[in-house]
Amino acid sequence: MGLNNLNNKFRHYQTKFSFGATSAIITNLGIITGLDTLAHPRVSIIAGMLVVALADNIADSFGIHIYQESECIDNKEIWFSTLSNFFTRIFVSLTFIFLVALLPLNLAVPCSICWGLALLAIMSYAIAKDRKVNPYSEIFKHINIAIFVVILSHFIGIYIINKIRIAA
């Protein structure tokens, strides 16, 4: 197997895992920062992440599966994409769940944000190098999108929680 074939095989696997990992990172950061002001935030955050790690993950994986079937992609490739997305999202989600479960919440939130941004930066760097584009501009772009989600989720969480408290 030549170096070119090895690079193509790596790129193929990287593509399959990057969607699931990115989705898990952004979703979990949104949940963590959106729910950290609840009365029982640790339980709420972990419950939210577990629900998303399963329900949304199955929905995304199934969506990928159906999409690829509609594109008439090889059945083996369809199942590889479906399962790699599912297990990547589960694994990445579990890393966030462990952080929230094991650390004091005032430490778990910033550690989760740093962990998510680090994972995103590493993936962005690897993909950019593979695409032969400036990795630092890709990292900057992707990190800014993640930070936007974190900030937006935090303020939406505060807004909704305050509205519920006022109504109750």
Give 95-115 pLDDT, tens digit per residue.
999 999 999 999 999 999 999
Which residues are CB-contacts of 145 (< 8 A; sequence separation ≥ 6)? 26
Q: What is the mean pLDDT of the chain?
A: 86
Report the b/e string of 55-90 with b at 16+ CB within 10 A: eebeebbeebbeebeeeeeeeeebebbbebbbebbe
Q: Is the pLDDT of residue 19 over 80?
A: no
How does pLDDT run across 39-98, given as a tens digit for each residue?
Answer: 678 888 888 889 888 888 888 888 888 888 888 889 998 898 889 989 999 999 999 999
* pTM of the complete model: 0.81
Mean pLDDT for 109-129 is 94
Average pLDDT rounded to a whole number, residues 21-34: 84
Dihedral over alpha carbons 134, 121, 124, 23 (to 10 degrees): -150
